Structure 1
Amino acid sequence: MDIVELLLSGRRGRRVLWEFVLASEAQALSEFADHPLHSAMYYASYQVEACRGDSVIMFGPGADEGRTVTVSVEELAKLISATMLLPVTDQILQKSLESSVVHARYWQEPDGEDTLLAAPALRNALCRVAEYIVASGLTQQWLAPVDLRTQFHVEFDQPDPAGSMTSTGSSVFDKLLRWKENLILTEARARAEKPTPVTAMIGGEWWSRPSWDLRATTGVFTNQQPIGMSCVEDAFTWEQAVTRKASVPPSVKVLEISTANDWVQLCRDYGIEVTAHKRHEWYRTTGRDGAWVMPDWFAVSKDYDGVHLSIAGYLALAGECLVVDENFATLIAGWDPDQTYWFTDELRFYAEPDIWNCLDAYNEDCRCGNFQV
């Protein structure tokens, strides 16, 4: 599958395309001029969320009239097609990617924008944007396997930013064993305690990543900023980040996830059932009521030293319902683009850490990418 199709096939990929078009309109028009594309999506997404009962409120001057405004997907498609696109740069692609990740949510329905962008009537308009971006050649790195030479671990708001990451503590084996034991107990408890309709508003573990205790790294953007600083699903507001360059043994065996088949085959080979404790959240985000599996990371670690989700893989697959067989499906949730989880104790951090300060931590519109080292 080429990058154009990858961008069109996933909700995170489509959101990148949307953010690029939105940035194009913002640059072409003055701040105080009408922004028809932005306004159209605002009203259309409000109607989507209000009609399905989400907790959305429109207030302020003109709110009463605004609640009655309807915009069709055909109108949105025309506006997207009519927007003159920006020259493609690494900076605008980074911003678009960051914004797409910020809007990921797999414990509830996709937001109004993500819902609308999946409409078939928008595909041709979005395809134009995808082909335009891909023609720049700047998205080739999104398909790249893990680059062992430029891997960085990121920690946020640590009390001791200069603290060492070289101490081993528990082994990876022990961490993954505890992870699997906890998953089995959580599934058994949910099976016993949650015999409820799939529509019940019950919260729980919605992610399918490996153990929180494992070290994870990402590569860097072209400006050398670690991707894991600003591309974080379900992120929180932070004021300081500490990044450390990882020394990865060249002999490691890394499993690459870039296509649906990569993840599906992983679940076929190493799957473990998680239906009971993920059923409610994964139903809300996908609309599917059925049995679910995810990779058994303890079993995977016996054959691989790490697993890497490429940027393209993330954009195409994150949050999508992936069919494993006639009974089971699976979901990539809680991962970040270009993220590698490590199943080896051989990872080392020799270089001095870099400390980054967020220049506008409490401004959601500016927080992504607005750092100073």
Structure 2
Amino acid sequence: MDALADRLMRGPRGRHFLMGMLAAGSERASEAIFLASRDFSDNSASFGWAVEGSSTWEPPHVTPSQAADALAAVAASAPHVRGLLRALRETVDDAMYWQAPGGGEVLASRPELDEVLARMASTIAGAPASAWLDSPLKRDDQHRVRWPSTEHSHGVPHTWDTSTPSAEVLAQWGAAVREEESTARKERPADPSAPWGGTWWSVPPLPLVTTMRALGELGPVGLHLVEDSFGENAAVTVRVAVSPGARVLEIACAEDWADLCRRHSVDVTASRRHDWFRCTGRAGDWVIPDWEQVAAQYDGVHLTGAAYLEASRVPIRVDDVRASVIAGWNPDTTVWLRDVTRPEYPEVRWAWPDGGEWVPD
């Protein structure tokens, strides 16, 4: 199996994406996936299927094997960019690191679907439209994305404000992380299954500059791929220039993240254990990268789309005791830890009309 195809098969997020790509080509397969997912979901809502001879309305029961058969009947055709983004959008938008995996992710992880998903993974890995998923930072084509309505509703000032130096942002972040962890050790239960929630992300601090590549007329990837989005229908983007000598760390697979945590990490066991136990099922010590330390060596960190699909939501083994989680990132995101970018105006405004595709406004 191709290296990219193999990595798409490793994690629940990648397998969910593959399942969505196949199901998009068949109404029958989509229905089978929906029904089979019910067995693995807390949502027991019924939508009006009748059982013959009964006055009670119940949906038909579909097993993982039957869902796999429905998917196997769909031709695994090479994707175009729009179709790829639609399936990725659904997968990314479903990301929630403070609760157990949804029924779709659990179904996609079942061994009954291995063969049919592997076929789709091989098809995607060989398609030109998918090449960017496994590509390093595209230095000459980076863009920032703003969501004006979210800024307004949350009372957040202009998110492109870079008046605070990155070093100061990181120093404040480092102090806050350690203070929260110290408080959590004293005040939060040690039982990871306790009904407690708190900080769950591992992304660098949000005030730092974040960029993504563009996909031609479809615009920047960041328009389309947003974890747990607010359903925005308006956005603003601007292209940015990156200093030629900027040092960028590529996170191209789970092991890259693990290696980063071995070199530069901060303990977050007490502050993350409850959410990440629900998310991954793992109980143990947790770490995240110490972004303040990382900034001494790198100007930015780029998470490829393939690494996101392989490694998000899973416990990434750092050593015999510690693990980490990639949480709060979006595919193909680069977070700049140092002040090495500048905007190249003009801004571009985008709208999300009823047709369901971003277009220049």
TM-score with structure 2 setting the length: 0.91
After superposition, give the CA deviation of every residue in 1:161-211 in whole Å (9 maximum; x if it has no partner). Answer: xx9888641110000000011101111111111125222221111110000
Per-residue CA deviations over 1:258-287 (Å, capped at 9, x if unaligned) read: 111100000000011101011011111110
- 1:269 corresponds to which letter in structure 2? R
Check conservation: 1:264, 1:330, Cα contact below 8 A: yes
Q: Please give the secondary structure, in 2, of the residue aligned with 1:6.
A: helix
Report if the CA contact (8 A) 2:142-2:212 is conserved: yes
Q: In the comparison of the two structures, how many residue pairs are matched?
A: 351
**Aligned pairs for 1:223-238 within 5 A:** 223-238=217-232
**Matches for 1:219-368 after TM superposition, within 5 Å:** 219-360=213-354, 367=356
User: Secondary structure of 2:195's match?
Assistant: coil
Q: 1:187 aligns with which of 165, 168, 181?
A: 181
- Give 2:112's match in structure 1, choosing from 114, 118, 121: 121
Identity of aligned residues (%): 32
Report the counterpart of residue 13 of structure 1 in structure 2.
14
* Aligned equivalents of 2:321, 2:116: Cα separation in 1: 35
Q: Equivalent residue of 1:348, what SS? A: strand
Partner secondary structure for residue 146 of structure 1: coil
CA distance in 1 between counterparts of 2:182 and 2:94 reads 31
Displacement of 1:70 after TM fit?
2.7
In structure 1, C-alpha distance between the alignment counterparts of 2:159 and 2:195, rounded to whole Å: 39
What residue is the counterpart of 1:148 in the other structure? 139
Structure 2 residue corresponding to 1:40, chosen from 26, 32, 49: 32
The corresponding residue for 1:32 is none
| In 1, Cα distance between equivalents of 2:313 and 2:253 | 13
Match of 1:83 in 2: 74
Counterpart CA distance in 1 for 2:160 and 2:317 is 40
Question: CA 1:14–1:61 in 2, change beyond 3 Å: closer, same or farther?
Answer: closer
Q: Name the residue aligned to 1:31.
A: none
1:210 equivalent in alignment to 2:204: yes
What are the Cα deviations for residues 239-298 of structure 1, in whole angstroms up to 9, with x where unaligned?
Answer: 311101111101000000011110000000001110101101111111001110110001
* Distance in 2, Cα, partners of 1:273 & 1:372: 43
What TM-score results when the alignment is normalised by the length of structure 1? Answer: 0.89
Q: Is the 8 A contact 2:299 2:340 kept in 1?
A: no
Partner of 2:91: 100
Contact 1:142/1:312 (8 A) holds in 2: yes
CA distance in 1, matches of 2:353, 2:141: 25
Offset, 1:340: 0.3
How far apart in 2 are the matches of 1:152 and 1:221? 11
Cα distance per residue 1:82-126 (max 9 Å; x no partner): 222345212211211112111111111111010011112211110
Q: Distance in 1 between matches of 2:320 and 2:251?
A: 22
Kindly indicate whether the alpha-carbon contact (under 8 Å) linking 2:24 and 2:30 is maintained by their aligned counterparts in 1: no
Answer yes or no: is 1:201 the counterpart of 2:189.
Answer: no
What letter is aligned with 2:79?
V
Q: Does 1:22 align with 2:23?
A: yes
* SS at structure 2 position matched to 1:139: helix
Contact 1:98 1:230 in 2 (8 A): yes
Query: 1:137: how far off?
Result: 3.2
Q: Name the aligned partner's letter for residue 32 of structure 2.
A: A
Deviates more, 1:190-199 or 1:208-217: 190-199
- Give the AA of the match of 2:359: F
Residues 257 and 88 (structure 1), Cα distance of their counterparts in 2 relative to 1, 3 Å cut? same
Q: Which runs of 5+ in 1 are unaligned?
A: 27-34, 361-365
- Given that residues 94 and 221 in structure 1 are in contact (C-alpha distance below 8 angstroms), is that contact kept between their aligned partners in structure 2? no
Supply the distance in 1 between the matched residues of 2:201 and 2:268 (Cα, whole angstroms). 11
- Tell whether 2:46 aligns with 1:58: yes
Moved more, 15-24 or 143-152: 15-24
The offset of 1:371, in angstroms, is 3.3
For 1:314-350, what per-residue CA distance to the aligned partner results, in whole angstroms no more than 9, with x for missing partners? 1111111111111001100110000000012231113
**Deviation string for 1:64-89 (max 9, x for gaps)?**
4435x332222222221122234521
Shift of 1:55: 4.5
Please say if residues 146 and 160 of structure 2, whose CA atoms lie closer than 8 Å, have aligned partners that are also in contact: no
Mapped to 2, the partners of 1:325 and 1:301 lie a distance apart of: 23
CA distance, structure 1, for counterparts of residue 43 and residue 73 of structure 2 = 32
Q: Provide the rounded CA distance (Å) in 1 between the counterparts of 2:136 and 2:213.
A: 10
1:346 and 1:110 mapped to 2: Cα distance?
37
CA–CA distance in structure 1, aligned partners of residues 160 and 11 of structure 2: 37
Query: 1:132-187 deviations in whole A, cap 9, x for unaligned?
Result: 22233332221111011110000102679xx9888641110000000011101111
User: Are the structure 2 counterparts of residues 106 and 258 from structure 1 closer, same or farther at C-alpha, using a change threshold of 3 Å?
Assistant: same
Query: Structure 2: which amino acid aligns with 1:15?
Result: H
